[in-house]
Copies of this chain bind each other. A is one copy, B any other.
Amino acid sequence: MPRSAPARAPITSPAAATVFTTVLTEGPVSRVDVARRTGLSSAAVTKAARPFIEAGYLEELASEGRTTPGAGRPANPLAIRPDREYFVGVKITGDDLIGVVTDLRADVRASAHHALTGHDVEHVVHALADLVGELLAGPTPDGTSNLRDRAYCLGVAVSGDVDRASGVVRYSPFLGWRDVPLASLLEDATGLTATLENDVKALAVAEQWFGEGVGASSFALVTVGTGIGSALVVNGDLVRGAHGVAGEIGHVPVADGGPACHCGGRGCVEAIASTEAILTRARSVSGESALSMEDAVVRARGGDELLREVFAGAGHAIGLGLAALVNLFGPERVVVSGEGVATYDLFEDQIRRTFAVQAFGSAARCGLVIRPLPFEEWARGAAAVAIQSLFVAESV
Q: Tell me the bound Cα distance from A263 to B366 in angstroms.
A: 17
Chain B residues positioned under 8 Å from A230 (CB to CB): 328
Does A17 reach chain B (CB closer than 8 Å)?
no
Residue count of chain A within 8 Å CB distance of chain B: 52
Kindly supply a per-residue 1/0 record for chain A positions 205-247, scoring 1 wherever the CB is within 8 Å of any chain B CB and 0 otherwise.
0000000000011100000000000101011010111111111
Interface-side segment among A25-33, A69-77, A141-149, A254-262: A254-262
A245 near B161 with CB under 8 A, answer: no
Chain B residues positioned under 8 Å from A366 (CB to CB): 242-243
Does A112 reach chain B (CB closer than 8 Å)?
no
Residue from B232, B239, B245, B358 in contact with A361 in the complex, judged by beta carbons closer than 8 Å: B245
B328 near A252 with CB under 8 A, answer: yes
Closest to A232 in B: B328
A328 near B249 with CB under 8 A, answer: yes
Chain B residues positioned under 8 Å from A264 (CB to CB): 357
Chain B residues positioned under 8 Å from A155 (CB to CB): none
Q: Tell me the bound Cα distance from A232 to B368 in angstroms.
A: 22
Closest to A248 in B: B327
Q: Tell me the bound Cα distance from A92 to B344 in angstroms.
A: 46
Does A267 reach chain B (CB closer than 8 Å)?
yes
Interface-side segment among A130-138, A183-191, A297-305, A329-337: A329-337
Within the complex, the shortest CB–CB distance from A30 to chain B, in Å, comes to 26
B324 near A253 with CB under 8 A, answer: yes
Chain B residues positioned under 8 Å from A266 (CB to CB): 357-358
A327 near B244 with CB under 8 A, answer: no
B239 near A234 with CB under 8 A, answer: yes
A360 near B330 with CB under 8 A, answer: no
Does A251 reach chain B (CB closer than 8 Å)?
yes
Does A362 reach chain B (CB closer than 8 Å)?
yes
Does A265 reach chain B (CB closer than 8 Å)?
yes
Residue from B234, B242, B263, B331 in contact with A330 in the complex, judged by beta carbons closer than 8 Å: B242
Does A19 reach chain B (CB closer than 8 Å)?
no
Q: A245-B361, A245-B362, A256-B256 are in contact. Are A328 and B327 (CB under 8 A)?
A: no
Within the complex, the shortest CB–CB distance from A257 to chain B, in Å, comes to 9
Chain B residues positioned under 8 Å from A256 (CB to CB): 254-256, 258, 267, 316, 320
Q: A253-B254, A253-B323 are in contact. Are A239 and B329 (CB under 8 A)?
A: yes
Does A110 reach chain B (CB closer than 8 Å)?
no
Does A363 reach chain B (CB closer than 8 Å)?
yes
Residues of A90-130 contacting chain B, CB below 8 A? none
Q: A242-B217, A254-B256 are in contact. Are A358 and B328 (CB under 8 A)?
A: no
B237 near A235 with CB under 8 A, answer: yes
Residues of A346-382 contacting chain B, CB below 8 A? 357-358, 360-363, 365-366
B324 near A241 with CB under 8 A, answer: no
Q: Tell me the bound Cα distance from A381 to B236 in angstroms.
A: 28
Chain B residues positioned under 8 Å from A253 (CB to CB): 254, 320, 323-324, 358
Does A200 reach chain B (CB closer than 8 Å)?
no
B325 near A245 with CB under 8 A, answer: no
B357 near A265 with CB under 8 A, answer: yes
Interface CB pairs A-B, < 8 A, 13: A217-B242, A232-B329, A241-B329, A242-B330, A243-B330, A243-B361, A244-B330, A253-B323, A253-B358, A256-B258, A263-B361, A265-B323, A324-B324
A242-B330, A325-B328 provided; 10 other pairs, C-beta below 8 A? A161-B361, A217-B242, A218-B241, A242-B331, A242-B366, A243-B366, A245-B360, A249-B327, A265-B357, A268-B358
